[in-house]
Amino acid sequence: MAVAIAALSLLLLMIAAYRGMSVILMAPLLAMLAVFLTDPAAVPAAFSGLFMEKVASFLKLYFPVFLLGALFGKLVEISGFSRAIVTAVIGVIGAGRAIPAIMAVTALLTYGGVSVFVAVFAVYPFAAEMFRRADIPKRLVPATIGLGALTFTMDALPGTPQIQNIIPTSFFGTTTWAAPVLGLIGSVFIAVSGLAYLGWRRRAMLAAGEGYGAPETLVNEPEAIEGEVRVHPLIALLPLVVVGVGNLLLTLAIPRWVAGEEVMLSLPGMVEPVAVKVAQVSALWAVEGALLLGIGTILLFAFRTVAKRFAEGSKAAVGGALLAGMNTAVEYGFGAVIAALPGFLVVKEALRAIPNPLVNEAITVTSLAGITGSASGGLSIALAAMAEQFAAAGDAAGIPREVLHRVASMASGGMDSLPHNGAVITLLAVTGLTHRQAYKDIFALTLIKTVTVFVVIAVYYLTGLV
């Protein structure tokens, strides 16, 4: 019964998300339904002390990233930079290759350290413009961005600075470059398979007579600016480069600038000083600083153009950031509630029975990521509870810790992207599409990503490559 309660809540949330209902409304209702069916007296405390606490903690940490990312993406659009880059790319590779071009741009951003959420805001104006020019259905935009941001650069490519590749290092004593050969094989498999699938879908839609979409039916659509392109593509590309390089340099510099593990804030009007743990926020400070540098770069080269539409554009950016941030925050709160229920503990314990160490690890991590709707959340829960067991079984079987790292990291990005996943909801909200319109193709990539983990495991057992 405990498992059925958790499964019912999860299933209802996925159905609600797919049918276009507000996750901001449905996530707390369904989380509290699960608590009510488990222990009715615990509902008020679970809502205030667990659900809302997690929502508030998520927004406290990440809303500035959502806000600056949305503003950066909007300024890229209204400055004309997006159109300049798209025009240049089409001139070099042709309009027909919009899908691999957008995947590559997104992958470069995320591998350069830009948050997945920021990459969505930054790339969407380019993707919309390129897909419109090539008359590719807009509902393929989320899957294309997702292929570049939510698959191989998130957890497979060696050295990627995304959190899903960082979490295993503290459990297995590895580095982000763990198992580089297996990571590269997995990355190539995902990229090639994903592009093949999206190319097939595009041809099928073209044969059915489907184009980009009628303007009157599209939501959150960047404006099509006609006329001559007045911005050099290298200048237009500069803000993206500044964000990527700035994020890398600030990530390296902030720990050196800030002495000690904590910063004590004590202002005259404060009753007590506040301690800020640098390790928890330095990566966020780096991203926020990089986005400010990117915004400053746009203003430096296109101040007059941006100033004419800044008020209107910034309002739209703030609205988008609020929606995307709240969607993801309530998913985080929902996952925390489900993870606290007895049914979740039953599932976690049942997964211990799988005999093969790597298969056990892969299934456990991707299952918990799917249940919580979060790659990093499921990975953290799985490794916190079972990392010692995985390591002991791996040592007994002669499996290097680097392989355990890579399998765990890649598995976290498998079934996490079910309909209730925060990144999926954010991606759809930013692109102005619904689950019914665009989730099918995202789910196909989810299946490819999940299969890839087991391909990597098979490659390891067949070749011994690490």
d(CA 167, CA 175): 10
Q: What is the DSSP letter of 418?
A: S
Residue 261 has pLDDT above 80, yes or no: no
Nearest to 105 by CA among 209, 241, 222: 241
Q: What is the DSSP letter of 223?
A: P
Nearest to 297 by CA among 353, 243, 226, 374: 243
Q: What pLDDT was estimated at residue 38?
A: 92
Averaged pLDDT, 437-447:
94
Per residue in 294-327, pLDDT (tens digit) is 999 999 999 988 998 899 889 988 988 888 788 7
HSE-up of 146 (CA within 13 Å, CB side)? Answer: 34
d(CA 437, CA 433): 6
Per residue in 159-176, pLDDT (tens digit) is 887 778 878 888 898 888
Q: What pLDDT was estimated at residue 177?
A: 87
d(CA 140, CA 441): 7
Binned at pLDDT 50, 70 and 90, residue 226 comes out as: low
Most confident region among 43-52, 96-105, 309-318 by mean pLDDT: 43-52
User: Tokens at residue 423, please?
Assistant: 């990144």
Q: What pLDDT was estimated at residue 113?
A: 61
d(CA 148, CA 124): 12
Q: Which residue(s) pair with 276 in the sheet?
A: 263
Q: What are phi and psi of 174, to 5 degrees?
A: -110, -175
Three-state DSSP at 264 gives strand
Q: What pLDDT was estimated at residue 87?
A: 76
Give CA 283 to chain center in angstroms. 15
Binned at pLDDT 50, 70 and 90, residue 266 comes out as: confident
d(CA 191, CA 193): 6
State the sign of the Cα–Cα–Cα–Cα dihedral 125, 126, 128, 129.
positive
Average pLDDT, the chain: 87
Q: pTM for this one?
A: 0.78
Q: What pLDDT was estimated at residue 350?
A: 81
Residue 225 has pLDDT above 60, yes or no: no
Averaged pLDDT, 263-287:
79
Binned at pLDDT 50, 70 and 90, residue 280 comes out as: low
Averaged pLDDT, 236-264:
81
Q: What pLDDT was estimated at residue 386?
A: 85
Q: Using the structure block, give the residue that is written with the tokens 């249940």.
A: 371
Averaged pLDDT, 381-393:
86
352 or 182: which leads in pLDDT: 182
